[in-house]
Amino acid sequence: MAGASPAEMSALEALDDLADEIRGMGNEPVPHRAARADGITSGHGCGHNLFGAGSVGAAIAIKRAMADQDIAGEVRLFGTPAEETVVGKVYMANAGAFDGVDATLVWHPMTETRVTNASTQAMNNFTVEFRGQAAHSAADPWNGRSALDAVEMMNYGANLMREHVQPSTRIHYVIPNAGEAPNVVPEYAKVWYYVRDTLRTNVEEHYAWLLDIADAAAQATRTEHEVSLITGVHALLLNRPLQEAMQANLEAVGGPNFPDVFQAWGREMQTGLDIDPVGLDVEVQPLALGATPAQGGSTDVAEVSWITPTVQLEITSAPKGVPWHSWATSASHGTEWAAAAADVAARVLAMTGMDLLTDPGLLEAAREAHRESTQGRPWRSPIPADQKPPIP
Ligand SMILES: [Zn+2]
């Protein structure tokens, strides 16, 4: 952004994190790659800029309908920051934000229109920082203790561990800090890990194993180390009665009514990306009889789904087949037309909310399904109860 000081830019970047933009994914709302004219490099590659309009619209509609129809009850609207990093609702849940909520309705932009029917992966997101002793790499390496050696040993251990975990487990890392120059023994190095699985119990087991590997790497390299668990989530629980109620409403409302100009825009983008130029898919997908296989990826909605019966809606907001979390989805979500997705979401969420307020049988069935899927186990936060959110 022209004229912004480094301090001002830093504040803007912090806002980008909270507003859930994705770094490096910024694009003008055009069907080809074009950097944002305002100079901001991040963009809404996941469509989180549409959340607010859809959910606020639904909450206002429910509140008005309750007054109009004289229906008792309470509607709560949750604005949740930092969802992209799977952080916001984990800390909100820890603070008791969702206690006493009977049911939760959620929506998310997507390249198809459907009621979510697949679980997600449980996950722990953590960093390990190693601290050693700097020295000249050639003159007196014996005085040095390399933090980078510790990171490399930890990663080597984790890569050997891979052979002995379930096929459902995913372990990935990056090295944000690995020393400054080859002629200095690195005194500080940091590695950042995600460990995921469809089962929370596997995540916990493998997390403990990785911490043992970190410990062993520190011992072997004569360095100190510190683990920071940034966030953790369960796998998303589906709720069949709520899914069926939402599906009926979604079919009644229908997919988003995008103008022809947006469809043409989408086909142009698809042609440029060398994918089928079919435009945006506005058909409502049927709800399969059973749950479809868990998706790769994690969501902080999962924590809410363990606390209270939860259902999620997905509405088309970008052309079919374009890569998600990319410049292409940022471009789509920046158009004025994408708001039609939020409009459909507001309608379907509002109708499902009214069903819950007027049909005690639906809420009871949702509670029963929730009891079944949690098997009576109370929700336990993946992170320590007193841990403060990692606000930049
Ligand atoms: Zn998202």
Q: Is 177 found in the same domain as 86?
A: no
CA of 183 to the centre of ligand 1 (A): 42
* pLDDT per residue as tens digits for the range 212-252: 999 999 999 999 999 999 999 999 999 999 999 999 999 99
Q: Is 265 found in the same domain as 250?
A: yes
User: What's the pLDDT score for residue 159?
Assistant: 98
Q: Is 146 found in the same domain as 53?
A: no
Q: Is 270 found in the same domain as 165?
A: no
- Assess if residue 283 is contained within a domain: yes
Q: Is 116 found in the same domain as 256?
A: yes
Point out the domain boundary residue: 196, 216, 233.
233
Please report, for the domain that includes residue 67, its CATH number.
Answer: 3.40.630.10
CA of 63 to the centre of ligand 1 (A): 26
- The helix or strand, by DSSP H or E, that contains position 69, with its residue range, turns out to be helix 51-69
Point out the domain boundary residue: 233, 265, 284.
233
* pLDDT per residue as tens digits for the range 146-188: 999 999 999 999 999 999 999 999 999 999 999 999 999 999 9
**pLDDT at residue 340 greater than cutoff 90:** yes
User: What's the pLDDT score for residue 22?
Assistant: 78
- Assess if residue 4 is contained within a domain: no
State residue 386 phi and psi, 5-degree precision: -100, 5
- Assess if residue 82 is contained within a domain: yes
CA of 118 to the centre of ligand 1 (A): 15
Q: Is 326 found in the same domain as 222?
A: no
User: Between 19 and 169, whose confidence is greater?
Assistant: 169
User: What's the pLDDT score for residue 139?
Assistant: 97
- Assess if residue 364 is contained within a domain: yes
* pLDDT per residue as tens digits for the range 57-74: 999 999 999 999 999 999
Q: Is 132 found in the same domain as 115?
A: no
163 with 156: CB under 8 angstroms? Answer: no
State residue 51 phi and psi, 5-degree precision: -50, -55
SS3 content of the chain, % helix, strand, coil (to 5): 40, 15, 45
C-alpha radius of gyration, the chain, whole number: 23
* pLDDT per residue as tens digits for the range 293-312: 998 899 999 999 999 999 99
Q: Is 160 found in the same domain as 130?
A: yes
383 with 232: CB under 8 angstroms? Answer: yes
CA of 146 to the centre of ligand 1 (A): 38
CA of 187 to the centre of ligand 1 (A): 37
Determine whether 115 is exposed, middle or buried from the number of CB atoms within 10 Å of its CB (0-12, 13-18, 19+).
buried
* pLDDT per residue as tens digits for the range 99-139: 999 999 999 999 999 999 999 999 999 999 999 999 999 99
**pLDDT at residue 15 greater than cutoff 60:** no
Q: Is 332 found in the same domain as 245?
A: yes
Q: What is the dihedral of CA 290, 378, 229, 86, to 10 degrees?
A: 40
Point out the domain boundary residue: 208, 233, 258.
233
- Assess if residue 383 is contained within a domain: no
Q: Is 244 found in the same domain as 227?
A: no
Please report, for the domain that includes residue 146, its CATH number.
Answer: 3.30.70.360
Query: Residue 10's pLDDT band (boundaries 50, 70, 90)?
Result: low
**pLDDT at residue 4 greater than cutoff 80:** no
Please provide the average confidence, as pLDDT, over all residues in the chain.
Answer: 94
Q: Is 224 found in the same domain as 126?
A: yes
- Assess if residue 12 is contained within a domain: no
User: What's the pLDDT score for residue 16?
Assistant: 57
For strands 104-110 and 310-316, give the pairing: parallel
CA of 85 to the centre of ligand 1 (A): 9
Q: What is the dihedral of CA 293, 298, 299, 302, to 10 degrees?
A: 60
- Assess if residue 390 is contained within a domain: no
Count the domains in the chain. Answer: 2
User: What's the pLDDT score for residue 5?
Assistant: 76
Q: Is 362 found in the same domain as 280?
A: yes
Domain of residue 226 covers: 122-233
CA of 24 to the centre of ligand 1 (A): 16
* pLDDT per residue as tens digits for the range 253-274: 999 999 999 999 999 999 999 9
Amino acid at 356: L
Query: Residue 11's pLDDT band (boundaries 50, 70, 90)?
Result: low
CA of 214 to the centre of ligand 1 (A): 31
CA of 46 to the centre of ligand 1 (A): 5
- Assess if residue 54 is contained within a domain: yes
